[in-house]
Amino acid sequence: MLVSVCRFSVSSAILHTFKMATTSFSGLQIAMSRSCIPSTQKIADAGAVVLGGKSKQGSWNKLASACHVASVQPLHRGFASSSIRSVKGVTKAMSESSADSPVQGLSINLKGKKAFIAGVADDNGYGWAIAKSLAAAGAEILLGTWVPALNIFESSLRRGKFDGSRILPDGSLMEISKVYPLDAVFDNPDDVPEDIKTNKRYAGATKWTVQEVAESVKEDFGSIDILVHSLANGPEVTKPLLETSRKGYLAAISASSYSYVSLLKHFLPILNPGGSSISLTYIASERIIPGYGGGMSSAKAALESDTRVLAFEAGRKRKIRVNTISAGPLRSRAAKAIGFIDMMIDYSSANAPLEKELSADEVGNAAAFLASPLASAITGTVLYVDNGLNAMGVGVDSPIFKDLDIPKEH
């Protein structure tokens, strides 16, 4: 920056000092400007997800989309320009600021990464939400679906039943490269009993044990970078623990916790170093949740313990990070099997520090963070995504606290 000094007699020392100060100020401006991105700048990269603030996702499920899975030909549908504009922003967790304020944050870019999500059988669970967030960040999506649910799932995709929920925040479509049949209760073909082999719900499906699916993924894609375990099952979940049979208890452990050990064991050789493995847990692992029975609370406790051990072993062997997300209650099809999910959601909304219903997208975004380089030093941890309910020691909606001065929103 040059400053003209006209018709003034200035000593050389004063002029030298002024130039140094001006140059320093100019350099400071440049450094500050480089750290800011104008909020009006359009983000063209569909794979960039900005961390640090608030997500506008209300329009996601209002739009139609196309379906493209495995050999299914993509369908093309038209979109109203106003609808596309309503979702042109990428997934964000941005600090609140005015529209004219500069946007500061870190981006998640998972372009070139491949993610395998086990346990997706519909479009309203956490597994689907995680797949969407990973796709929004640019990852290629592979799914593992429980064999008996596979035909219904793929049929729903073909018929466009999930079209509205496949729209990503920037208006593009979540593409699923391939859907694999999977039953994570069985490690290899030798483990499959005869009654399952002859079961009509498994008719026509092949290579669906954990070992076979890992081999198929290797054959099709070579390697992956992200492994997600989003499945659980407790056949006696509605029974109190004292009424749970040994068979029901062990079935819950097998399907809900050991399945993760098996999944990581078989996929570890094809997980690229620096990759990430994520599972889903629930606060019943460490707190009493009456009604969440059948050994499921024990299964979640085992899952969290295994997460720490697997973090050490997979970290040392292949530099893989292993974490689990303790998610709050969600009104999903799977959760409705418990029978009191609506009550748990109401309880959470009334007692959590953040008085709102948890959305699946919030859990999906947390998973995208854990899968990204931004979490490169995070492993062996339980990440709570539950509006802070895990921090509470009492239910503040109890009549006992009616005279207590509890903070309220103004």
Q: How many CA within 13 A on the CB side of residue 355?
A: 10
- Number of Cβ within 10 Å of residue 85's Cβ equals 11
Place of tokens 């974490």: 323
Residue 300 is a catalytic residue: yes
- From the candidates 92, 113, 114, 300, which is the catalytic residue? 300
Q: Which amino acid is at 377?
A: A
257 is catalytic: yes
Edge-to-edge, what's the strand order for the sheet holding 107-109? 92-94, 48-53, 107-109
Q: Which strand (E) or helix (H) includes residue 20?
A: helix 12-34
Q: Transcribe 47-86 into DSSP letters.
A: TEEEEEE----TTGGGS-----BTTSPPP-----HHHHHH
Beta strands in 89-205 (DSSP E): 92-94, 107-109, 114-118, 140-146, 176-182
Q: In angstroms, rounded to a whole number, what is the distance separating the alpha carbons of residues 123 and 165? A: 7
The residue type of 366 is A
Provide φ and ψ at 83, rounded to 5°: -70, -40
Catalytic residue among 59, 165, 257, 277: 257
Strand, helix or coil for residue 241: helix
Are the beta carbons of 325 and 367 closer than 8 angstroms?
yes
- State how far the Cα of 248 lies from the Cα of 389, in Å rounded to an integer: 29
The span from the CA of 192 to the CA of 181, in Å, is 14
- H helices within 137-270, ranges in order? 147-158, 194-197, 210-221, 246-253, 259-267
Question: Which residues are part of the catalytic machinery?
Answer: 257, 300
